Amino acid sequence: MTDPCSHWVVGGSGLAHSGLHNAVGSGLYTATTLDDPFTRLGHSQLTSFFVLRQAQRLAIGANHGLWEWRRDEARYVQLHDETLTEVLGLAAVPGDPGLVIACSYGIATAYRDELGAARWTFHSDSPVPDERFANALHIDPAHPDQWLVGTEAGVFIYSATDHHWQTSDLNGTPVRALCSARGRLWAGTDDRGILHSDDGLHWTQAGGPIEGAVYALHDTGTSLLAATQYGIVTGDGEGPWTQTGPRLSTTCITSDPRAPGTWAAGASPGGLWHTRDAGEHWQQAGHFKHVRVVLAPEEI
């Protein structure tokens, strides 16, 4: 049996085996290696948008709320209440349930009520819908009290200490990807490519132009990878970006820390793709039509 807290995890839907190309079986799937068959994790048919892996659980932002898969119980547990619907991003914070979420209504944290249920409080108070609509969430590792929020209107910073919002100079474009790499913060936009920042407030263009929207960013340790509207690009953030892999709407990307040069990316539609030679050759893995999340094996 695979362990979702340490093996490959894919959030997506498979192809029907009747010869028809209708998607069946949305949910989370796991496998020990990319060559092994993927098996569904439990019986939930959630459509996952973001999965946060922790030592004893997976926290899952989905089309119908927030869930966790606990390693010790091997089952899904509901973490949302009636105010929390579609969850697009997650990050870990102290406490119980220990999460901050991003969704179309902004960002929110929770506390446990007297019955042990998670009750969510929203922290986005902008009257402008695009400024509230949170696509991505990232906590600056150098400043854990500063939460970067990628919205339909750009990047905003929320201070968890004094509950104060700051506006960055990356504005006027949707931001759907945020990460930390190489001592900097990175953001992927819909129409301005990739930018980097030292403080989250001031952003500079990274590398050359990119065709289409950027949906995910990942640092392999030797290369920066971006999942974009028209496939995968790789580079160092200084020179031009290089296209690699199939030209598909790519939603997520990761690399295997145990195997340098092994990358995996999900497309929707298009399924799961991987390379073992740092992008020289690509092939499909699993029987997926849509993939929105892929996590590489790791020990936490």
Largest CA distance in the chain: 57
Model confidence, pTM: 0.94
pLDDT level of residue 270 (50, 70, 90 thresholds): very high
- pLDDT for the residue numbered 25: 67
Tell me the pLDDT band of 26, cut-offs 50, 70 and 90.
Answer: confident
Instruction: Give all strands (DSSP E) within 117-181, no chain letters.
Output: 118-122, 134-139, 146-151, 154-159, 164-171, 175-181
138-159 pLDDT, tens digit each: 999 999 999 999 999 999 999 9
Q: Using pLDDT thresholds of 50, 70 and 90, give the confidence band for residue 71.
A: confident
**How does pLDDT run across 204-227, given as a tens digit for each residue?**
999 999 999 999 999 999 999 999
- Residue 103 is inside which H or E element, if any? strand 99-103
What is the pLDDT, as a whole number, of residue 299?
A: 72
Average pLDDT over residues 267-294: 96
Using a pLDDT cut of 90, give the percent of the chain over it. Answer: 85
| Backbone angles phi and psi of 131, in degrees to 5 | -80, -25
Query: Is the N-terminal amide bond of 97 cis, ω within 30° of 0?
Result: yes
CB atoms within 10 A of CB 69: 24
* Identity of residue 185: L
List b or e across 12-42, with b for residues whose CB sees 16 or more CB atoms inside 10 angstroms: bbbbeeeeeeebeebbbbbbeebeeebeebe
CA 286 – CA 144 distance, rounded (Å): 37
State pLDDT tens for residues 95-117: 999 999 999 999 999 999 999 99
| Residue 17: per-residue pLDDT | 52
